[in-house]
Structure 1
Amino acid sequence: MRLHRNLVFATADALAEIFNEGAYADKVIEKTLKRDKRWGARDRSFIAETTYDIVRWKRLYAEIAEVKEPFSRENLFRLFTVWATLRGIKLPDWPQFENTPTRRIKGKFDSLSKIRKYRESIPDWLDEKGKKELGEQLWEKEIAALNKQAPVVIRANTLKISVAELQQKLQKEEIETKRIKNYPEALELVERSNIFRTEAFKNGFFEVQDASSQLVAHFLEVEPGMRVVDTCAGAGGKTLHLAALMQNKGQIIATDIYGNKLKELKRRARRAGAHNIDPRTIDSTKVIKKLYGTADRVLIDAPCSGLGVLSRNPDAKWKLQPEFLESLRNTQFEILEKYSRILKPGGKMVYATCSVLPSENKEQVDRFLNSENGKDFKLSKDKTILSSETGYDGFYMALLEKDS
């Protein structure tokens, strides 16, 4: 591989923003890729994948390069040097790469790879937390799986097209996909490509949604004509799936505290042809209180640590703090207590997170069931999805039923 100066410098700039300014990797990369219109697909892919790689392995590479945060420009190039050396990429004769200690880099990599917190490039506290909650062996497997690049999975929008038809249409646009067993509307891309430029996307025939996330709407057991409340709807990935499963019949009230996310949901719903969605911003306690006792189904896709989606958001490892995790658990419980009141007697509710930690998952459900508001509920079924077992995101979902 031949390295191009403008691509390497763009990568260094992106890393400076992510590491030194705390910016979100996906937003930085999106902005960086717009810098030069002459860049082709291969150039963009180099910047995106190299940046994500160095973010993912920050702790390991910084230890090998013997550099500390905040990273100077020179030290960012040292991280890049480690990345290139470990991939066997020949470094060009630039001043930034003078006197690269190739043998020393490889030697340090070999010795540090024997220690999990360096090998998997995670903070000490997170390593301890994972080990404590999942046990040594399972945590070892799970964190290794979460450090792999996530596959690109899409969900066929059955309001407009069947899975088989979508597969054919994408093939005509030179995008090969494969079906995934036990995921009815899912297709996985055989090779990564910019699918947002396809006619199929513009026509609203699919949404990008991880396979594990696609199980949540099915878990809620919705039917056409029902009144459903999606309480933490965000930009609406699961809301749109619910609309498709309900065949546009009935009503989905999509609430969120962030109005800008609901604006995005409206835009996506128009493209998807989903007409039964009613977005409502939670700008006061009245919004939720008005809904008490009115819904056949409630989805609580709760805010969580996001540990199950580290493969697609590797910078979350460095942004998460133990004290945030503590306050998050209180938020999750409050949301469960409050939003569970939206359900009618005899209704069903799903509590879901994209975390693999039992303290955010089953333990929260048990805590709710033992609370005053939870005494009328019973756990019907729950499911823990591990990345190490499926190759997709880590997820948890619990179906709770309210007494008639």
Structure 2
Amino acid sequence: MNLRELVLDMLMELEKGKVYSNILIRNVLDKYDYLPAKDKAFIKRVTEGVLERRIQIDYVINAYSKIPVEKMKPLIRNLLRMSVYQLLFMDGVPDSAVCNEAVKLAAKRKFQSLKGFVNGVLRNIARRKEEPAPDKQAHPIEYLSVTYSMPEHFINDWMKTYGEERTEKMLQAMLEIHPVTIRLKESLSAKEKEALFLEMGKRGIGAEAHPYLPYAYRLSHVDGVRNIPGFNQGLFAVQDVSSMLCVECAGIREGSFVVDVCAAPGGKSLHGAEKAGKTGQVLARDISDAKVALIEENVRRQGFNNIKTEVFDALEYDGTLEEKADVVLADVPCSGLGILGRKRDIKYNMTQEMLSQLPEMQREILSTVWRYVKPGGILVYSTCTIRREENEENAKWFLENFPFTAEDISGKVRQIPQAETAVEGFLQLLPGIHETDGFFIGVFRREL
């Protein structure tokens, strides 16, 4: 098994933009699960690293190549990218091995005539080991774009909204290693928790309590989620704390009827079902069989029997739910810019045209699902993005057009810094500022 060739093929596939990186990486690692942990870690790190640092890597290659990256043969372009990543960011891999293996791969894949070109570019970069970058004072946007591998149009937007200092903190956080975050079942006893963490420790997995919620933990040294003790037994769900906070702020109680209109993969539905208890029920819907299958898989694993799943488009009105729900969860499709640290390919695939269309679609969903909330009930609007157009502006529009008032959630997020807007019914979580993904939560109560 040639690990570098496998990574090269993965990068070639990802460049087509037809598959998400997290899904491709998971599928490849599952297929080659027999490989040693060290080899699987190499495949994952190089593939994710190239995506994460692609703009910076291309800038470096262009500084040492007479042929611009965008004009190279796709195979040569991706071969150089993965090799430069190893040269610049993986000290444990000898430079000579990186260069030699790249030359061999070029020849093996029928690019014998370009062996010298590949060798020359890589050895020049290896000799200098500097990372050329634009001048920060003269070209601040380009500097941030190259240094943190983020398209300039996103940085322009964030600078206008959040300012330069906060924007750079966010960019830094998006490049940091993101631990696996889990939500323990709240029904677990202290003895059961102790036994679970003891078993994790035996497998070399570290567990650290998250400061925001008592049942949230960050795990380190994880070799595949399915290999974590307790996963198959349904003792926990893998979920970011921002998503957990969404359910916390909803105020779900024993006996509540909850409708989750865009539920896949089901984390909030499962969390809501636990809070609703035996006398409550959650209706978890999403738009396709594949998405609902994800929810059902998690429901089975965690053993809940108070969740009903359905394939249903949130844009379609369902008269049978008129004023029936105590809580409606509307975690709507969004640009995903708050989770770029986890889903690295979003920043390359999300176009300005796509961005411009999202707020209108989100408003269409809200215009439909608000009617399911009973008088006095709660609607939670959430996204995993950091764009005002999809977040604060949509929340303001909703309150101006429908019979709802903003719900003060400050009592539910006391432990979170820089959460002043919670009294106004919403919270914008930012990477680098908060210990979560970028996420927006708006909580609205229907008037009586």
Same fold, TM-score > 0.5, yes or no: yes
The 1:172/1:337 distance shift into structure 2, 3 A limit, reads same
Deviation of 1:379 (Å): 4.2
Asked if 2 retains the 8 angstrom alpha-carbon contact of 1:376 and 1:402, the reply is: yes
2:4 is matched with which residue? 8
1:144 is matched with which residue? 172
CA RMSD of aligned residues (A): 2.2
The worse-fitting range, judged by mean Cα deviation, of 284-293 and 393-402 is 284-293
Question: Does residue 1:196 correspond to 2:226, yes or no?
Answer: yes
Question: Does residue 1:28 correspond to 2:49, yes or no?
Answer: no
2:428 is matched with which residue? 384
Asked if 2 retains the 8 angstrom alpha-carbon contact of 1:305 and 1:355, the reply is: yes
Q: CA separation in 2, counterparts of 1:83 and 1:301?
A: 35
2:50 is matched with which residue? 54
Aligned residues: 397
2:163 is matched with which residue? 135
The 1:70/1:157 distance shift into structure 2, 3 A limit, reads farther
1:98 is matched with which residue? 119
How does 1:111-260 map onto structure 2 within 5 Å? 111-112=133-134, 114=136, 115-159=143-187, 163-260=193-290
1:301 is matched with which residue? 331
The 1:280/1:389 distance shift into structure 2, 3 A limit, reads same
How does 1:286-297 map onto structure 2 within 5 Å? 288-297=318-327
Deviation of 1:366 (Å): 0.3
The 1:128/1:286 distance shift into structure 2, 3 A limit, reads closer
Q: CA separation in 2, counterparts of 1:340 and 1:397?
A: 16
How does 1:359-398 map onto structure 2 within 5 Å? 359-371=389-401, 374-380=402-408, 381-398=425-442
Q: Deviations over 1:307-340 (max 9, x none)?
A: 1111100111001011111111101111112111
Partner of 1:148, secondary structure, is coil
1:322 is matched with which residue? 352
Question: Does residue 1:74 correspond to 2:104, yes or no?
Answer: no
Deviation of 1:103 (Å): 5.6
Which of 365, 378, 382 is the aligned partner of 1:352? 382
Asked if 2 retains the 8 angstrom alpha-carbon contact of 1:64 and 1:105, the reply is: no
Structure 1 residue identity aligned to 2:146: Y
Q: Deviations over 1:51-100 (max 9, x none)?
A: 00100111111121121177521221211221122134323134256232
Deviation of 1:213 (Å): 1.7
Deviation of 1:375 (Å): 3.4
1:401 is matched with which residue? 445
The TM-score normalised by the length of structure 2 is 0.83
2:298 is matched with which residue? 268
Q: CA separation in 1, counterparts of 2:58 and 2:332?
A: 34
Q: Which runs of 5+ in 2 are unaligned?
A: 63-68, 105-117, 137-142, 409-424
Structure 2 residue identity aligned to 1:392: T
Q: Which runs of 5+ in 1 are unaligned?
A: none
Asked if 2 retains the 8 angstrom alpha-carbon contact of 1:123 and 1:318, the reply is: yes
The worse-fitting range, judged by mean Cα deviation, of 285-294 and 337-346 is 285-294
Asked if 2 retains the 8 angstrom alpha-carbon contact of 1:133 and 1:359, the reply is: no
Asked if 2 retains the 8 angstrom alpha-carbon contact of 1:210 and 1:393, the reply is: yes
Deviation of 1:299 (Å): 0.8
The 1:391/1:181 distance shift into structure 2, 3 A limit, reads closer
Q: CA separation in 1, counterparts of 2:77 and 2:163?
A: 36
Q: CA separation in 2, counterparts of 1:284 and 1:208?
A: 25
Q: CA separation in 2, counterparts of 1:212 and 1:312?
A: 14
Q: Deviations over 1:197-243 (max 9, x none)?
A: 24411111111111222211111110011111111111201111111
Asked if 2 retains the 8 angstrom alpha-carbon contact of 1:356 and 1:396, the reply is: yes
Asked if 1 retains the 8 angstrom alpha-carbon contact of 2:56 and 2:149, the reply is: yes
Q: CA separation in 2, counterparts of 1:378 and 1:78?
A: 52
Structure 1 residue identity aligned to 2:83: T
Deviation of 1:33 (Å): 2.1
The worse-fitting range, judged by mean Cα deviation, of 79-88 and 169-178 is 169-178
Asked if 1 retains the 8 angstrom alpha-carbon contact of 2:329 and 2:379, the reply is: yes
Partner of 2:50, secondary structure, is helix
1:40 is matched with which residue? 36
Deviation of 1:138 (Å): 1.8
Larger RCO: Structure 1 or Structure 2 (Cα < 8 Å, ≥ 6 residues apart)? 1
Q: CA separation in 1, counterparts of 2:126 and 2:2?
A: 27
2:132 is matched with which residue? 110
Q: CA separation in 1, counterparts of 2:314 and 2:170?
A: 39
